[in-house]
Amino acid sequence: MRDPEFWHNKWAENQLGFHLDDVNPLLVKYWPNTKPDYQDKVFVPLCGKSEDLVWLAAKHGDVQGVELSNIAVRAFFAEHFYTPMVMPINGQHELFQFDELSIYTGDLFTAPIKPVDIVYDRASLVALPPEMRVDYANRIKSLLNPGGRILLVSLDYPQHEMAGPPFSVAEQEIHALYPEFKITKLYRDEANDNHPKIANKGLSRFAEEVYLLESN
C-alpha cells in the first residue's frame, strides 16, 4: 500500500507467509458475534486469495473483496476452478465477478466498493504502517451502512522488536482509530515460548486478538 511493489513482489515470488491454506478458525468462531444475516453485504479488504472468501460467500449473497495483486486474484479463481467475468474499470481496477463474489484488483482507496453491512478485517489493518491507518479507518467507515459492524483480527507485540508487516496494532490504537464505535474484545491468544514469533523472531511477547466493532 505505502509501497505497492513490496506486496506485488511477495505474490510474484510466492512469499506468502501471511496466507492461510484453510478458513481462519477465528472467522468461523467469531463471525456469529456480528449477528450476520444472509442479506448482509460483506467486504474483505486486502483479501489476497483467502479461503475465507469462499466461506463468507456460502453465508452471504454479496461478498466484495479488494486486493492489490492481480496474481493473487487470478490464483484464487484458478485454484477453485471458478471462471469469473472480468471487467476493466477506469483503467485503474479490474473487477472479477463470480456468483456471490466480486473482487476488485488495485488500490483499496480508489476501488469502487459498494456500501456494506459487515467488514471482515483479518490481514488489512495490520498490513499498514502507522501513517496510513487513519486514512484506512476513515475509508472503511465510509463504506459501512448505518448499523455496520467490523470483525477485526489484530496483533499485539512490541513493535520495536520486529519490523512489520504484519504490524502491531494494540487495543488503544484501535479505540483511537474507531472512536465512534462500540468496541468489544472477543479473544486474546497470548503466545507461549514455542510460538514461531517468539522462538524464531525473539519477541518478548506476541498475541493475536479479535475485536467486534459496532457503529452506534
Domain assignment present for residue 157? The answer is yes
Structural domains in the chain (count): 1
CATH number for the domain including 135?
Answer: 3.40.50.150
Domain assignment present for residue 202? The answer is yes
Domain assignment present for residue 19? The answer is no
Q: How far is CA 177 from CA 126, 141, 180, in A?
A: 13, 10, 9
Domain assignment present for residue 168? The answer is yes
DSSP tag of 133: H
pLDDT tens-digit series, residues 62-72: 999 999 999 99
Q: Is the pTM of this model over 0.85?
A: yes
Confirm if 192 and 179 have CB atoms less than 8 A apart: no
Confirm if 11 and 32 have CB atoms less than 8 A apart: no
Domain assignment present for residue 193? The answer is yes
Domain carrying residue 118 = 4-14+24-215
CA–CA gap between residue 87 and residue 96 (Å, rounded):
7
Domain assignment present for residue 8? The answer is yes
Q: CA-based angle 92:93:94, to the nearest 5?
A: 145
Domain assignment present for residue 67? The answer is yes
What percent of the chain is modeled with pLDDT above 90? 81
Domain assignment present for residue 112? The answer is yes
CA–CA gap between residue 50 and residue 97 (Å, rounded):
16
pLDDT tens-digit series, residues 127-173: 999 999 999 999 999 999 999 999 999 999 999 999 888 999 999 99
